[in-house]
Amino acid sequence: MDGPVPETAAEGVDPDLDPLALRHSSFSGQLPVVAVVAVGGAVGACARYGLGLAWPVAPDAFPWSTLVINTSGCAVIGVFMVLITEAWTAHRLVRPFFGTGVLGGFTTFSTYAVDVQRLVDGGHTATGLGYLVGTPVSAMLSVWAAAAATRWAIGRRTR
């Protein structure tokens, strides 16, 4: 590095004003979050891959496995978010690990986009367009229904 070396917090500079100290503290504070998202994403992606192997879809068939993976993953997101925001006090890394990591790796909207393209390119335009619209609608309904059912179950349990 050319030029003068900046002072560090250890040399008497206020860490709130020292950009190097701020950058270091921000990075070290985010490192656990990034790590748990990465590990969770690997777990979720492996689970999705395993389900894809267990339930293969022929190239010209409707992609039921992707639809089920996405809607079930969204339902779990609905349950999970209600539990960690309304029923439990969770550790700060639970949400990034499970919500962003595991469920983000499990649900596969990139495969959904490829499936739509495959259906349209294969001459199944109406099916592809139906799948294009139906997947996000079913995903949102899954989140809503699972969250509502979880709230109902929590309410019954606390009475």
- Print pLDDT tens along the chain (159 aa): 455 555 444 555 555 566 655 555 566 789 999 999 999 999 999 999 999 999 999 888 999 999 999 999 999 999 999 999 999 999 999 999 999 999 999 998 899 999 999 999 999 999 999 999 999 999 999 999 999 999 999 987 765
Nearest one of 2, 1, 108 to 57, comparing CA atoms: 108
Cα–Cα distance for residue pair 129/140, rounded to 1 Å: 17
In this structure, what are the phi and psi dihedrals at residue 108, rounded to the nearest 5 degrees? -140, 75
Alpha carbon distance 34, 22 (integer Å): 18
Which amino acid is present at 98? Answer: F
Indicate the residue type of 39.
V
Would you list the domain boundaries of the chain? Answer: 10-158
Give the C-alpha separation, 40 to 93, whole Å. 11
Query: What per-residue string of b and e applies to 78-101 under the rule 16 or more CB within 10 Å gives b?
Result: bbbbbbbeeeeeeeeebbbbbbbb
pLDDT of residue 125: 96
Report the pLDDT value the prediction gives residue 1, as an integer from 0 to 100: 47
pTM: 0.77
The reported pLDDT for the residue numbered 97 is: 97
CA distances from 25 to 18, 94, 115, 128 (A): 11, 21, 43, 48
